[in-house]
Amino acid sequence: MTMICGKHAQGKCVHDQIFEANAQAVAAAAKFGKDNVINATIGSIQDENEKLVCLPTVEKVFKGLPMNEIAAYAPISGIVEYLDLVQEATFGKFRPQGVYTAAVATSGGCGGIHHAIWNYMDEGDTALCGDWFWGTYRIICEDLLRKLTTYKMFDDDLKFNFEGLEAKIKELLAKQDRLLYILNTPGHNPTGFSISEGDFAKVLDILKRQSAAFGKPITLLLDVAYIDFSGDKDEVRKFFKQLENLPSNIFTVICYAMSKGFTMYGQRTGAMIGCSTDEAVVKEFAEINQYTSRATWSNINRACQKTLITIYKDPALLEAIEAERAEYYAMLKKRADLFTEEAKACGLRMIPYVAGFFMSIPTSKSKEVCEELKKEQVYCVALAAGVRVAICGVCLPKIKGLAKKIKDAMDKVGA
Amino acid sequence: MTMICGKHAQGKCVHDQIFEANAQAVAAAAKFGKDNVINATIGSIQDENEKLVCLPTVEKVFKGLPMNEIAAYAPISGIVEYLDLVQEATFGKFRPQGVYTAAVATSGGCGGIHHAIWNYMDEGDTALCGDWFWGTYRIICEDLLRKLTTYKMFDDDLKFNFEGLEAKIKELLAKQDRLLYILNTPGHNPTGFSISEGDFAKVLDILKRQSAAFGKPITLLLDVAYIDFSGDKDEVRKFFKQLENLPSNIFTVICYAMSKGFTMYGQRTGAMIGCSTDEAVVKEFAEINQYTSRATWSNINRACQKTLITIYKDPALLEAIEAERAEYYAMLKKRADLFTEEAKACGLRMIPYVAGFFMSIPTSKSKEVCEELKKEQVYCVALAAGVRVAICGVCLPKIKGLAKKIKDAMDKVGA
């Protein structure tokens, strides 16, 4: 075969565990009947009738848009009103004060992570995140000729592992000029972990200490994709206030997604928000990411941006969408509470779940466990650090007994 | 200022001539009245009432989609049916036979060009296109640490400059391992040039000859963004048949956009189609571009893909959209014919226009000409090689006299 593609591109191939496991579950449901299959692979909310949820307010607003707002291009960086209101959607009452911020529209949350990994790392550098992580972080790093390494996210008592984090930061800053640290909170994928305000302060202390010690900048990428289904809207946003007190060599990029918060996965719209005490850093953020947007996708879905603008400008619509989010958050919480209770009862050890779409079971034999579960028509996702259970996609009656099934499968394979 | 971003990212900034000139035209229309301003900057079709056109069949189908087809994720590479039917939309009756093809969904046409420049070039390599080109090609190359060079597209008689093309290909293949050559046809942006079948055969001969001489692969990127408004649907597609007879070290990537063909600019959907006599090259194409999609935008707008699927599966809808395209093509042609006739009458030298959204006037003083035109409330785009006139956005009564205005402005500034 002629080597047509570039050297760096040769042999790239996605084996997406999540899409593959989902395809198997869908096939099983067709064969054995939907009621006999538990599909805990999908990262989108299915209601108690196992139908994909689209928030009614989003549907009403989107379907009501005039056609020219759907057909026309948006500006490269995003519609000006969107760039303001998406910050309101992200920060709520806790928009950091006394600092500079700017937003750039992105293709979902993923697009902002792409831009940050491209623009805030040098080629060959290594990004850092916890050992429970969304696998796409690694794919983005590798496609862009960067690397990803992890620290053990939890200590033996399943508390946040500050020492592990600090050691890895020191190791990386010793050998490269800058560091990108990715923290997915609240409602972390795949564990449902949300960092507490106190723990977040400690993380920031580590970043400040090591950035100062090495005299090198750190970019903190906060992936908040799940923030709108992670609990009380104010409580989950309080930690943003801590971004007010950072030195200028700590730069924060927040990646927000309409995929989850507006249940508009397929419309590919989100934003990256830069936040710094240094105005020049935020100006540069807006410029270099606009440039990368022009060079990547030209511009972002106008209709979806207009949907957010329409809702966030209208108090009645905003109230309605917040009520809908609260309703589905409560639905997720019921599922999580039942699973947690049953896990405890049967002795299944879980990563401490706070909120979000997923729960995780630590094991080094995740593949074997998932294969064993398939025999019972239960489909989960095998990650390096354990098994991911997408409670967002499993109705309450099917949650019942699920923890025990997983415990049994683990016992069978000796996990 | 702390150097937060990566070294390669420092100082990047888009100065988008097109968006800037459009903003000035919009401001002028607000001040002097719409009737007194000619806005020839926008790359989307405006009807004779200066309203953005959205094809009625597209509106009907898109607005009729069930909400779950809008909200849900699409697969990373695209919906399977879309990947087939977008090839039908692109190739029509002239789908190359006896070769392998595969499609990957992209963010408009731009997204496919991004992927091709990333995956079919090595870092530091130089891509090639004509000296009349869409400026975004250069932005993509530069953002991705590649370069772009040009050959003089037309000789002194305004015929395709084969010698210039071949000389540049030799120069580039002498110093790098592979070459990406971008050819935008039919309805070339910014000139409205469409390559004839005979000239395309000569271009392919050059590619074959030089690829063989150097023993190095060439990727031919055909940017066909304007194909659906460039003339008779069969006539403009005949040249695709010539892709059947290429050696395996010539790989073709065709970038198709729903932006223009479906007037769905804002929904950001298109496809890149790989075409080769070597099955392995096409398999690799599907894999590496799926990988880059996962790493860039995760997946592409489901609703827009479904719109294409719905229309191309239904003969009545297909007939309707083709009639609508023909109607707007005829509208563009009337404008182009009038402009061409008046240009000839007043001695304004143009690049030979065949079809598409734009016409161009060669001059080395394009900025001065555009500034002079603004005094008459005429807004065009100044390119390095000349002035671009977006006839897609100017109604027929405003086309009348436009060529003379441009000729006068050129005379005034001594262009």
Segment A119-165, tens digit of pLDDT: 999 999 999 999 999 999 999 999 999 999 999 999 999 999 999 99
Consecutive H or E run containing A213: helix A197-214
Interface test with B, best of A2, A115, A176, A214 (most B CBs within 10 A): A2
**Are residues A76 and B8, on separate chains, in Cβ contact within 8 Å?**
no
Is residue B2's pLDDT more than 80? Answer: no
The radius of gyration computed from the CA coordinates of chain A, to the nearest angstrom, equals 21
pLDDT of the residue at B223 = 98
pLDDT of the residue at B84 = 98
pLDDT of the residue at B14 = 86
| CB-facing half-sphere around the CA of B156: CA atoms within 13 A | 0
User: Which residue from B361, B352, B348, B409 is spatially nearest to B389, judged by alpha carbons?
Assistant: B361
DSSP structure string for B59-99: HHHHHTS-HHHHHSPPPSS--HHHHHHHHHHHHGGG--SSS
- In chain B, positions 143-182, which contact chain A (CB-CB < 8 Å)? 143-144, 177-178
Is residue B1's pLDDT more than 80? Answer: no
Is residue B143's pLDDT more than 90? Answer: yes
Give the residue from chain B lying closest to A44, CA to CA: B72
- Give tens-digit pLDDT for B309-340: 999 999 999 999 999 999 999 999 999 999 99
CA distance B306 to B313: 10
Q: Are B274 and B282 in contact (CB under 8 A)?
A: yes
| CB-facing half-sphere around the CA of B350: CA atoms within 13 A | 28
Give the pair of three-digit tokens for residue B280.
Answer: 């392995």
Interface test with A, best of B1, B2, B13 (most A CBs within 10 A): B2
CA distance A49 to chain B (A): 14
Tell whether B139 lies on the interface with A, counting CB pairs under 8 A: yes
pLDDT of the residue at B20 = 85
% of chain B beyond a pLDDT of 90: 96
CA distance B347 to chain A (A): 36
CA distance A390 to A377: 15
Mean pLDDT, rounded, for B175-196:
97
Sorted by sequence, the CB contacts under 8 Å of residue B198 that are 6+ apart come out as none
**Are residues A290 and B121, on separate chains, in Cβ contact within 8 Å?**
no
pLDDT of the residue at B256 = 98
Tell whether A139 lies on the interface with B, counting CB pairs under 8 A: yes
> Is the interface score ipTM higher than 0.85?
yes
Q: Is A155 helix (H, G, I), strand (E, B) or coil?
A: coil
Number of CB pairs, chain A paired with chain B, less than 8 A apart? 276
Q: Are B145 and A146 in contact (CB under 8 A)?
A: no
Mean pLDDT, rounded, for B250-275:
98
pLDDT of the residue at B54 = 98
Low-confidence ranges of chain A (pLDDT < 50): none
**Are residues A268 and B121, on separate chains, in Cβ contact within 8 Å?**
no
Residue carrying structure tokens 């392919």: B204
Is pTM beyond 0.90? Reply is yes
Q: Are A310 and A80 in contact (CB under 8 A)?
A: no
Tell whether B294 lies on the interface with A, counting CB pairs under 8 A: yes
- In chain A, positions 39-78, which contact chain B (CB-CB < 8 Å)? 44, 51-52, 54, 58-59, 62-63, 67-76
Sorted by sequence, the CB contacts under 8 Å of residue A373 that are 6+ apart come out as A379, A380, A405, A406, A409
CA distance A307 to A64: 9
pLDDT of the residue at A15 = 79
Give the residue from chain A lying closest to B20, CA to CA: A75
CA distance B104 to chain A (A): 14
pLDDT of the residue at A27 = 94
Q: Where are the alpha helices (DSSP H) in A150-301?
A: 162-175, 197-214, 258-261, 279-296
pLDDT of the residue at B372 = 97
- In chain A, positions 320-359, which contact chain B (CB-CB < 8 Å)? none
